[in-house]
Structures are given as structure tokens and as C-alpha cells.
Amino acid sequence: MRTVRLPGGDEVVALGQGTWRMGERRAAHKDEVAALRHGIACGMTLIDTAEMYGSGGAERVIGEAIRGQRDRVCLVSKVLPSNAGRKRMKRACEKSLKRLGTDYLDLYLLHWRGGVPLDETIEGFLALKEDGRIRRFGVSNFDTDDMEELWETPGGQGCQANQILYNLKRRWSEASLMPWSRRNGQPLMIYSPLEQGRLPASGALGAIAAARGVTVMQVALAWVLRHEDVFVVPKASLVAHVDANLGALDITLTDDELAALDKDFPPPEGGAPLEIL
């Protein structure tokens, strides 16, 4: 499994596991736990979640999945903007830890920007780090101007990653954020790399998949994974979906294939707005 090095020196796997919409249906619980455990066994040891997902339900699913193997896993969770003040963040983090069945998070992210000033949020992160409740902190859904403001905020350059929406249909970050991130050594953590399964099966995407004998989604995931400084957290609620995601690691797209995908999914020209799902 290829890894990506974070600014603090930690290495994370390039292909992890997302959990959005997990923990919402009791009937799916067993399959979700099994999928996460299978992913861990296959080397997908980074698991991303948030207190918002299933109102804590996703964290409970993860807690069951990692029981007895916490040390194998890199756990990432996210705090809501409404809880991003120092006191509320501490309470929110403790609740997440309880649901996850662990006493620390490897990475704790601000889910998106809200009304709490960045300096107060960073103070909260640093306090949790000092208490041993988190190892590192980062952000999510930050555009270039947000990252520049973070960089100018005391302690802000301790940020380890920015989690953003990025896939063939959502390429806004290539205009400004991705170049900025590379200049400043900030890896990007990608969510919804498959556009929630809504990518077209026709055109270049379908043709490449058919020629290679793989699925459209595997091609789309390989397209994101081609960047050596990003790590990706697609959700898979079934073991079969986990295996399908793993198959993308074996696909290296050619220059001609990349050019064909660019034609069907053009990169942004000039400024492009932040997109959030």
C-alpha cells in the first residue's frame, strides 16, 4: 500500500476508508462493521469519520470494527463548526472518543469553517493535543484563502491535512488550492472520490473501463490516486465494495487515457469556487 507523509512525519495509507452515511440503519450495521474490518485486514488502515455522521452512529460502527486492533488503525474524526470553540471542542472530542472506544484520535479536523475564530479553534486543538486526546489536527473544506488565513494564525501551520471534495466532476481544487497545498507541503485528503457513484458509465470513462476489464468506479478512483500527495477515503459498506476499491491500486492510467478523461471532464480554467457535499 502506497503511503503519504504528513508534515509532522506520520505516514498514512493512500487508500483509506470513509464512513459517511454509516451508522444510520440498524439493518446495515453488521455489513458495515464487516466491511471496515476487511479493509483493515487488507491494509486500508486509515478510517475517516465525523461526529456529524449518523449523529455519532458512524463512530459507534467504527468502535466495534476496531475493537481489539486499535493500534493498527489511524483514526480521523471531525468536529462540527458549532463545537469548534475550546470548551465545546473538548466536550465534543470526549464524546467522539467514547463512541469510538479509544482514548485518542490520530487526526482531528475542523469539519468546515463556521463562526468561531480560527485562533480559538487552534487553541482548542492544541489543548487536546497537550492532554493526549489527539495526536495531530487539520481542517476540512478549506479553500485557498482559508488556508492562507490559517497559515497566518498562530499555530496554524501545525495543520496536517485539508480534507476536500475532489473527483472527475469536481476539479475546482486544481485551479488554486492544489498548487498552494503543494507549495506549502500540505497533503490533501479526498472525500467522495467517486461522486457517490454518480459518474457516467459512457464516454471516455466507460471506454477505458471496458478496454481494461475493470469498472468505471475503479478507473475514477485510480484517476484520483494518481496524485502522489493525496490520500483518499471512499466509503464501502460491503466487503465486495472494499475489494473493488482495492482494485483501483493496480490501475496506472496512460497519458492518452488521462487526456481522454480531461476532454470529457475538463479541468477548471481560472478561479473556481469551493464545492462541498
pLDDT tens for 2-11 read 999 999 999 9
Query: How large is the average pLDDT for residues 208-235?
Result: 97
- Above 90 in pLDDT, residue 270? no
Residue type, 87: K
Cα–Cα distance, 26 to 55 (Å, whole number): 14
Sign of CA dihedral 34, 195, 260, 273: negative
- What's the pLDDT band for 143 if we cut at 50, 70, 90? very high
Percentage of the chain exceeding pLDDT 70: 99
Q: For 248-258, what is each residue's pLDDT tens digit?
A: 999 999 999 99
3-state secondary structure of 108: strand
Quick: pLDDT tens for 54-84: 999 999 999 999 999 999 999 999 999 999 9
- Residues 12 and 44: beta-carbon distance below 8 Å: no
User: In the prediction, which pLDDT does 276 show?
Assistant: 83
pLDDT over 90, % of the chain: 95
User: What's the CA gap between 190 and 167, in Å, rounded?
Assistant: 8
Strand partners, 17: 47
Mean of all residue pLDDT scores within the chain: 96
pLDDT at 274: 78
Distance (Å, whole) CA 154 – CA 168: 35
Q: Please tell me the distance from the alpha carbon of residue 137 to that of residue 246, in angstroms, as a whole number.
A: 27
Whole-angstrom Cα distance, residue 267 to residue 203? Answer: 16
pLDDT at 275 over 90: no
DSSP string, 17-72: BB-TTTTS-GGGHHHHHHHHHHHHHTT--EEE--TTGGGGHHHHHHHHHTTT-GGG
Q: Measured between alpha carbons, how far is 173 from 178 in angstroms, rounded to an integer?
A: 5
Q: Model-level pTM greater than 0.85?
A: yes
**End-to-end Cα, the chain, rounded Å:** 28
Boundaries of every domain in the chain? 11-198+227-239
Contact criterion met (CB below 8 Å) for 85 and 123? no
The residues facing 79 across adjacent strands are 110
Give the position of cell 494564525. Answer: 153
At the topology level, CATH places domain 11-198+227-239 in: TIM Barrel (3.20.20)
- 191 catalytic, yes or no? no
Q: Nearest to residue 192, comparing CAs of 248, 108, 275?
A: 275
The type of residue at 255 is D
Query: Between β-strands 3-5 and 11-13, what pairing exists: parallel, antiparallel or unpaired?
Result: antiparallel
Residue 86's pLDDT band, with cuts at 50, 70 and 90, is confident
Distance of CA 70 to the CA centre of its chain: 19
